[in-house]
Structure 1
Amino acid sequence: MTSDAAASLAVPTDADLPPLALDIDGTLTTPDHTVDPRVFDVLPDWPAPIVLATGKSFPYPIALCHFIGIPERVVAENGGVVCVDERVRLTGDADRVAAATDAFLEAGGDLCWGEADTVNRWRETEVAASRDADADLLRAVAEEFDLSFIDTGYAYHLTDPAVSKGAALREAAAVLDREASEFVAVGDSMNDASTFEVAREGYAVANADETAREAADVVLDEGYMDGTLTALQRVIEQADR
């Protein structure tokens, strides 16, 4: 799908379309890391539930839902926070993550976000470090505290290994009286692999990393929002058959 064709995607609001699990960074954004304005045209018309599943802290996807005009159904912090239909649940061992972060800083590490650190200021279940941070030290700390080290391509994350977007999608689906296996998922990073594994179908956009590509059912030729729109067009076409 070309950029022009993607812009003309028409969502049939009366069709029996599946619910969606959509990553944000690299999936609903431009190559410049800004939200692609086409999300405001397409997502409000989707007739089935949409869950935004991201590595960002809780306020970011909530705000995006608000501005798009869709219900606040989100998986944040790589699965550490689940919010669906006004039910909010935190998962994972946040105390262990906090202890690991302290150890990282005491060893001379720096999260590299600056004094305000708006990336972590509202984070509740994990910690994220800039990709300018010392990755080797972060990996060592993760191993010491039995945490997962996730490189999303945008940041490094330390999180409880029991936490994942896929597990969180199962929980979100249950609140919606759905099965995770009904969802179509679109993403670009290793943190989306678990979502692909539980969803009915997983699409990796062209800019996806190797882990996401291997886990996806379909690897698209288009990247970023162009790829997402191509995936949605394919879903619409499948529903028409």
Structure 2
Amino acid sequence: MVPPLALDIDGTLTTPDHRMDPRVFELLPEWDAPVVFATGKAFPYPVALAHFLGRPELVIAENGGVIHDGEETTFLGDPAAPRAALEAYVEQGGEVAWPADGTVNRWRETEVALPLDADESLLRAVADEADGAVEVVDTGYAYHLKPAGIDKGRALERLSMVLGIDPGSFVAIGDSENDVSTFTVAGDAYAVANADQAARDAADHVLARGYMDGTADVLTALANGTTPE
């Protein structure tokens, strides 16, 4: 019996040059347990990945702001505060390199993402001005202005309840600070070798290899009933 999985996408199922690793399409379609894609990406991206893998669309998107249980979509985050913080950021001289109608933010329901060359100190300052309503998360790929109190771990608990699965039965794999909450909820957590320090500190295991190389090592070992390295 293989365990259910909670998998980050960027940096975890991808190559170092940000492409989806083809081994995803070899290892996951026949995985004989639920597979939840838990990502900071906008909602359509993980849904599409599950769809093209031929798997139930079990999704945690936008750092926990959106859940899809295969049938229904639940929005846990309110975008009003993050959008107001973005307006404050622009009013105070911050630049937004990604247009609001671009693909990064076009379908984003509960938060706003900005590129890593954004003014981080100003972003954190406007978040602080929101009286605890907004948090800034650095995923290593973008800065996310998101509602406070929303994270992947809480979303995994909520989704597990719907699925009738103990969240402690999940194996989680990820690479950044937005995976820390997932690692806390899951029963066993792996940080790939390219993970940031927050993820490495929170994980039960830090893998010898990075990106999909490390993830594939875990999935192969679990499928064979052996211990991942």
Give the TM interval when normalised to the shorter protein.
Answer: over 0.9
Q: Aligned runs of 1:42-121 on 2, under 5 Å?
A: 42-114=27-99, 116-121=101-106
> In percent, how many aligned pairs have the same letter?
57
Is the contact made by 1:20 and 1:50 (CA closer than 8 Å) also made in structure 2? yes
Is the contact made by 1:93 and 1:160 (CA closer than 8 Å) also made in structure 2? yes
Q: Aligned runs of 1:157-236 on 2, under 5 Å?
A: 157-236=144-223
Deviation beyond 2 Å, 4+ runs, structure 1: 114-117, 233-240
Is the contact made by 1:17 and 1:239 (CA closer than 8 Å) also made in structure 2? no
Alpha-carbon deviation of 1:235? 2.3
Gaps of 5+ in 1: 1-15
Is the contact made by 1:221 and 1:227 (CA closer than 8 Å) also made in structure 2? yes
TM-score by length of 2: 0.94
Alpha-carbon deviation of 1:71? 1.0
- Count of aligned positions: 225
Alpha-carbon deviation of 1:124? 0.8
TM-score by length of 1: 0.90
Is the contact made by 2:27 and 2:219 (CA closer than 8 Å) also made in structure 1? no
Match of residue 151, structure 1, among 113, 123, 138: 138
Letter of the structure 1 residue corresponding to residue 78 of structure 2: D
Whole-Å separation in 1 of the counterparts to 2:62 and 2:3 = 24
Q: Which residue of 2 aligns with 1:28?
A: 13
Alpha-carbon deviation of 1:123? 0.5
Letter of the structure 1 residue corresponding to residue 191 of structure 2: A
Whole-Å separation in 1 of the counterparts to 2:140 and 2:148 = 19
Is the contact made by 2:23 and 2:216 (CA closer than 8 Å) also made in structure 1? no
Alpha-carbon deviation of 1:160? 1.5
Distance 1:87 1:115, change over 3 A: closer
